[in-house]
Amino acid sequence: MNSNPIRFSSARADFFSTLNQRVNEYFKSNNISRYANNEMKFKTFAMFAIYFTPYILMMAGVVTNLWVMLGLCVVMGFGIAGIGLSVMHDANHGGYSRKPWVNNLLGFSLNLVGGNAFNWKVQHNVLHHTYTNIHDVDEDISPRGILRMTPYGDWKFIHRFQHIYAWFFYGLLTLVWVVVKDFVRIIRYQKDGMVKKQKANIFAEWAILIATKVLYVLYIGVLPAVILSLVWWQVLLGFLVMHYIAGFILAIIFQPAHVIDGTEYPMPDEHGKMENSWAIHQLLTTTNFANNNRVLNWYVGGLNFQVEHHLFPNICHVHYRKISSIVRDTAHEFGLPYKSEPTFIGALVSHAKLLKQLGEKPVLQPQTVTAGY
């Protein structure tokens, strides 16, 4: 990666200035806060309840049947994904509350379920949201080895079958994240200078990471093994099932938003200059899906309105449905795309189609042009 920082073009900046003005006017004219409302507060309670209620029922001895306990681990997996999609996500974007301490507290819920909020903010808020679908910068499309999610990635023979086996590996997302990736990422972010850029204290972040990982292992693994009449492999099985469910849900929600048939992978030139402005870049690399599915929209934290989220990540997701018509109409007014799949199943099929295309051996490997960040 060369030393030229990636810079977006200032051309057609009037699109986002116009859109931003119209969205701000929507909130002002309707006297609505951009942050969480009562619906969001109820959802927050519900997501934590989905996760902790099964845990309490098992730990209190209310449920002792092994098969029912395994079913409760499945429910906890839905809870982990729900907390991540609908609570932690908004909070760590600063969109849950106008009060930073509230956002920080709820954002820390990621640590509560085994992750690390600091790593997530760097990986997601900085790298993914700024450099969406840019090879070797956006870590969401840069899995190494087993998956090829960008035409600029190295091709291997096994990629021919990735549209088949990817679905199995999606379930390992949070498990690998909790056990390995958080440690690998904080080391890499320190080495790359990202920790310094975030004005963070690396010693404090390491202390938080280790302390919260230990606490997580204690309450999710050690306590059940000590208090419940379970052998170690039964506790481990429940842990694996819980995280497999959570990982699979998160993967199938996030992947179709950017790795989908018709998506684009813009790259900077040799000087690090992008062809489009940041806002237009988001329209080219992001796709909505199932916008009329209110049940899905509720559970996934409005992330099926991914275009709105990428353009306005600091607005609480409960408002995305209302502002989506403003975003769509403004994009069309400026002759820009507004990508959307009508159904969730259609989005998954389209994602699989692109995985298959990316898994085919390229006739000519695209020239990789990368820049620093």
For residue 104, pLDDT beyond 80:
yes
Helix and strand numbers, DSSP H then E, in the chain: 20, 2
Q: How confident is the model at residue 4 (pLDDT cuts 50, 70, 90)?
A: low
Q: State residue 369's pLDDT score.
A: 40
User: Whole domain around residue 266: which residue ranges?
Assistant: 14-359
Residue 46 lies in a domain: yes
Whether 282 is covered by a domain: the verdict is yes
Classify residue 260: in a domain, yes or no. Answer: yes
Q: Evaluate whether 307 touches 327 at the Cβ level (below 8 Å).
A: yes
Q: What is the pLDDT of residues 132-150, one digit of tens each?
A: 999 999 999 886 779 999 9
Q: Are 37 and 98 in contact (CB under 8 A)?
A: no
The half-sphere exposure of 55 on its side-chain side, counting CA atoms within 13 A, is 19
Question: What is the chain's mean pLDDT, rounded?
Answer: 94
Average pLDDT on 24-47 reads 97
Total domain count, the chain:
1
CA distances from 179 to 22, 29, 90, 104, 117 (A): 44, 47, 24, 23, 15
Q: For residues 254 and 308, is the Cβ–Cβ distance under 8 A?
A: no
Whether the per-residue pLDDT at 2 is higher than 50: the answer is no
- Between 2-11, 281-290, 299-308, 323-332, the lowest mean confidence (pLDDT) is in 2-11
- Alpha-carbon torsion 287, 312, 110, 52, what sign? negative
Asked, for residue 332, whether it belongs to a domain, the answer is yes
**DSSP label of 62:** S
Radius of gyration of the chain (CA): 21
Instruction: Say which amino acid occupies 337.
Output: P
Confidence of residue 19 (pLDDT cuts 50, 70, 90): very high
Check residue 145 and give its pLDDT.
78
pLDDT digits (tens, 9 = 90+) for 338-373: 999 999 999 999 999 999 999 999 876 555 443 333
**Alpha helices by DSSP H, 109-258:** 109-112, 117-120, 129-130, 162-170, 173-176, 182-192, 194-197, 202-217, 223-227, 232-258
Q: Which of 44-53, 177-186, 250-259, 356-365 has the lowest mean pLDDT?
A: 356-365
Confidence of residue 166 (pLDDT cuts 50, 70, 90): very high
Residue 371 is assigned to a structural domain of this protein:
no
Residue 368 lies in a domain: no
Instruction: Kindly state whether residue 4 falls inside one of the protein's structural domains.
Output: no
Beta-carbon-side half-sphere exposure of residue 1 (alpha carbons within 13 Å): 12
For residues 328 and 86, give the distance between their C-alpha atoms in angstroms, rounded to a whole number. Answer: 23
Over residues 237-266, the mean pLDDT reads 96
**pLDDT of 191 strictly over 80:** yes
Provide the pLDDT confidence category of residue 297 given band limits of 50, 70 and 90: very high
> Is residue 239 in some structural domain?
yes
Helix (H) or strand (E) run with residue 340 in it: strand 340-341
Q: Which pLDDT score is estimated for 363?
A: 76
Portion of the chain with pLDDT greater than 70, in percent: 96
